[in-house]
Structure 1
Amino acid sequence: MPPARGDWVDPTTDDPVVTALSEGVGGPVGTRAGRHPWWTPVRVVLALTAICLSLGMWQKTNCYEDTWQDGDARYSHMCYSDLPYLYTGRGFAELSWPYSDDAQTRARYEVMEYPVGIAYWAYGAAWVTHWLNGSPDLESRYGQSVGEMSATDSVHREMRIFVAVNAIGFAVLALLAAWFLSGVNPRRPWDAAAFALSPALLLTGLVNWDLVAVVCVAGALWAWARGRPLLTGVLIGLGTAAKLYPLFLLGGVLIICLRRRRPRDLGLVTLGAAGAWVLANLPAYLSGPAEWKVFWTFNSERGADLGSVWLVVQQALERTGDPFSFAPHTINVGSWLFFGVWCVGVLLLGLASPSTPRLAQLGFLVVAGFLLVNKVYSPQYVLWLLPLAVLARPRWRDLVIWQAGEVLYFAAVWWYLGNFLAPGGGGDSGFYWVAILVRMAAELWLVAMVVRDILLPRHDPVRAAALEPQLRTIRSKAVAV
């Protein structure tokens, strides 16, 4: 049963930042305040999400107008996106199946280096793009080089349509994710507003296909809160088929099931996740096993890349005058070792805490640990944490601190790639290193707040709000006496 209107936790009385901001419009809501008959919190959150995504599309306008052909503008205007480049670079302009083992296709195009969920989405978007562009004849394209074909006006038009089709699809995914998040705790639908108004969502939502996994994570949190372990597992499995990180939610489920002695739920979640992942990967694997493996080999052979602390250390050591480079194997072993230790710490924290932590809290901690030591930390990876963070620590102060670090890094990475931060004397940009470290520090701040909430549940806003109705009953009885 959904809570009565009066039982919603209002952010103007629950969150100190919102309380302070509300003074400009009359102050916190009173006990006798009326409720709008149509604008429920969930509908407001959905409207805010739509506005945020619209602004995100507008932010990419400069690049969209010149089809991402201006190499400087994509960095100076911070409107870069992978989508148009992969449309031509991975064969979608010719409607090539991402896992085709056709020799001619593989001679012209690299294999899609993303998990199958993203490859399927991109392939479907390419079909819609060709249909919207009048289903152009592809025979003439086969006789051109990829470079010549990519430079034609018809393909440029398709690139813009492809981005627009994806943008509309992402908007639907973001709205669905916001709906899921607003329903995880029926008494706290306003917590999802931090997702809807996120600068990270606005700036990075169109950089890549990460929202495909984000909606699965939000759905898994919703399903777990509704007591549906099998559906939780299915959504985790589908999310893992799009990005690896949703798999880490199983660690949080394990801790909760150990605490509550619910082995059946753990089994159902694991079964659902494994089954959904296998079924999602089966078409790709059967059509091209070698192409299916590219995602795994590509990531294992990758070196220190953008946003990673490994890149900072590597470039800093290179400044000493001796050529230095971490071997991919060294980074793989080091990052997984650090991540393994981090996971053990989360396990011990979850088992030793005074009360059972929430799935969003545990999931946030595990995913944050993975990102902090990963060998690549792309700007859009902030979306991985977003649905977990807004529920793990629903306090605007801490979320603003964290996302301020993300916004700084978002600007710095494009300026770095555009060589706008390059020192006059040459060499690597120290400011970019600072941006990476500030981003990590802001994330660690939020990690520390979540850890405190787990160790000291009285600081957890969700648990405090859950106790409020009981406290009101006790106070009313005391007054009656």
Structure 2
Amino acid sequence: MTDPRVHPTRDDPVVAALSEGVGGPVGDHAGRHPWWTPVRVLLALTAVVMALGLVQKTSCYQDAWQGGDQRYAHMCYSDLPYLYTGRGFAELAWPYSDDTQVRARYEVMEYPVVISYWAYGAAWITHAVTGSPDVTERYGVPVGELAGRDDVARETLVFVVVNVVGFTALALLAVWLLAGVHRRRPWDAAILAASPALALTATINWDLPALVCVAAAAWAWARDRPVLTGVMIGLGTAAKLYPLLLLGALLVICLRERRLPDLLRVTLAAVGSWLLVNAPAYLTGPDQWQHFWTFNSDRGPDLGSAWLVAEQATGDAIAAGTVNLGSWAFLLVWCAGVLAIGLRAPVTPRFAQLGLLVVIGFLLVNKVYSPQYVLWLLPLAALARPRWRDQLVWLSGELLYFAAVWWYLGGYLEPADGGEPGFYWIAITVRVAAELYLAAVVARDVLQPEHDPVWEERQLARRRHPILGG
């Protein structure tokens, strides 16, 4: 029986051209391997890419991230080792503790609760693996000196490894989920599995929990499970705020298909799961729980944002309130545009297409763009536009920015005359242009679905195999 799955060497022009070096596209009568299914190949590829990411961080790992500017020169920076001591995990301090001694020594975690829970759990595992050191002995040591102690330095490396093992499991799960969204197109998940952005940025911060929730939401919606979709969106929002925007994508779909009861189920499940996950943090430390919201509200223009370019180029400080107002105004106008595109489309747009457009709008004017934020877009991009040419165009801008931000922080982009870092501004502009390119291509696919690879394949499948093409 002919394999009903779409093979990338026959579907994607870039992959087809590359395959010429190994015999060309797969033939009509090619057999199936008894063990190496597409999903298993994708999982193996993901494991290799995550391992390459660890190799890229080797120089920083070898000196426990204590090498000064080496972390920028070698582009191997990670927040994980610094927050192990900087947020009290070396003493197993509960992130939402209101204990006066803890708060006098440590800043509150500036991330949503799922990240705090994850980091706290990783700290417990770290202490168990390293022999359960006596944390009370550390209470009298100044926080600035903790990281320099040999025992804490060893724990820091174990803490990083524990997190990376968990991140790898999440990456494998995300790829598995993406491979199952479109049953005939499992190879689309290779855009995430083989992405250099995954290798370079997966261990910078705790962004993978939200990524896997987005992948799970797409998987659940593809299987007509609105409650599970909402739960995943709620959990993702408790890890990073942006998954909340996916409700806007579902609003468009449900309006078009008159599925408002499903939208209600998704929304209630999202709110309920978010409240449930946030409850332990709020009940144990309401002031500490609120820190994430006040921290982001009071934050001014920061790394990677168009606001920072405007501030540095003009020499005029931009107040946080101005950034907040401008960002929300732009996002509302952008979302109105996505709504109009979605309602005018000849056929109902796909969840990933609308989700990608909304999240790109959010990132374009966000007050900060850390290099790992590319992970926010990767799963949606893989599903929304499964074409390697467009993915490579977009990722080229992201990777240029990845390099530029570390060179900027290391001071390597400062002109000899002491002027402004113009190359850093160029890198930000190129990244923004690359995201706009991806958004434009996806918007074109929505308005002209004959350009959408997934829609086109479905039409061909219906003609060739009426039973399989639905």
1:455 aligned residue: 447
Matched, 1:340 2:329: no
- 1:358 equivalent in structure 2: 350
Report the AA paired with residue 338 of structure 1. Answer: F
Q: Is contact 2:2–2:28 with CA below 8 Å preserved after alignment?
A: no
Whole-angstrom CA distance in 1 between matches of 2:286 and 2:43: 41
Question: What CA deviation, in whole Å up to 9, does each residue of 1:285-344 have, x standing for no partner?
Answer: 0000000000000000001000100001111101xxxxx100000000001100110000
User: Partner of 1:321 in structure 2?
Assistant: none
Match of 1:191 among 188, 191, 194: 188
The sequence identity of aligned pairs, in percent, is 68
Q: Does 1:237 align with 2:218?
A: no
Partner amino acid, structure 1, of 2:120: Y
Distance 1:336 1:231 in 2: 29
Q: 1:263 offset after TM fit, Å?
A: 1.3
Q: Secondary structure at the match of 1:184?
A: coil
- SS of corresponding position for 1:136: coil
SS of corresponding position for 2:180: helix
* 1:228 is the counterpart of 2:225: yes
Q: How far does residue 5 in structure 1 lie from its aligned partner after superposition?
A: 6.2
Q: Is the 8 A contact 1:217 1:387 kept in 2?
A: yes
1:423 and 2:415 correspond: yes
Unaligned stretches of 5+ in structure 2?
A: none
Q: Which residue of the partner structure matches residue 104 of structure 2?
A: 107
Counterpart of 2:161 in structure 1 is 164
- CA shift, 1:373, in A, is 0.7
Q: Find out whether 1:258 has 2:255 as its counterpart.
A: yes
Match of 1:477 in 2: none
Counterpart Cα distance in 2 of 1:67 and 1:362: 41
Distance 2:447 2:195 in 1: 27
TM-score, reference length from structure 1: 0.96
Show the counterpart of 2:42. Answer: 45
Q: Which moved more, 1:158-167 or 1:145-154?
A: 145-154
Q: Which residue of 2 aligns with 1:58?
A: 55
Task: Please state whether the residue corresponding to 2:184 is helix, strand or coil.
Answer: coil
Q: 1:192: how far off?
A: 0.1
Write out per-residue CA displacement over residues 232-291 of structure 1, whole angstroms, 9 at most, x where no aligned residue. 000000000000000001001111010000111101100110000000000000000000
- Tell me, in whole angstroms, the C-alpha distance in 1 between the residues paired with 2:406 and 2:51: 22
Taking a change above 3 Å as real, the CA distance of residues 71 and 294 of structure 1, as seen in their structure-2 partners, is same
Check whether the contact 1:195–1:390 (CA below 8 A) recurs between aligned residues: yes
Detail structure 1 runs of 4+ shifted over 3 Å in the superposition.
none
Residue 219 of structure 1, aligned match among 206, 216, 220: 216
Matches within 5 A, 1:382-401: 382-401=374-393
Counterpart amino acid of residue 273 in structure 1: A
Name which of structure 1's ranges 290-299 and 137-146 shifts more when overlaid on structure 2: 137-146
Following TM superposition, by how much is the alpha carbon of 1:363 offset from its aligned partner in structure 2, in angstroms?
0.3
2:400 to 402, 408, 417: 408
2:457 paired with 1:465: yes
What's 2:16 paired with?
19
The answer to whether the aligner puts 1:68 opposite 2:60 as a matched pair is no
Q: How far, CA to CA, are the matches of 1:6 and 1:267 in structure 2?
A: 38
User: Contact 2:2–2:29 at 8 Å: present in 1 too?
Assistant: no
Q: Does 1:299 align with 2:291?
A: no
- The letter of the residue matching 2:329 is L
The answer on 1:438 being equivalent to 2:430 is yes
Q: CA RMSD in A?
A: 0.9
Q: CA deviation at 1:473?
A: 5.7
1:367 aligns with 2:359: yes
The 5 Å alignment of 1:309-320 reads: 309-318=306-315
Q: Which letter maps to 1:164?
A: V
Displacement of 1:149 in angstroms is: 2.0
Which residue identity does 2:282 align to in structure 1?
Answer: Y
Residue-pair matches, total: 466
Task: Answer yes or no: is the 8 Å Cα contact 1:5–1:35 preserved in 2.
Answer: no
CA distance in 2, matches of 1:408, 1:212: 25
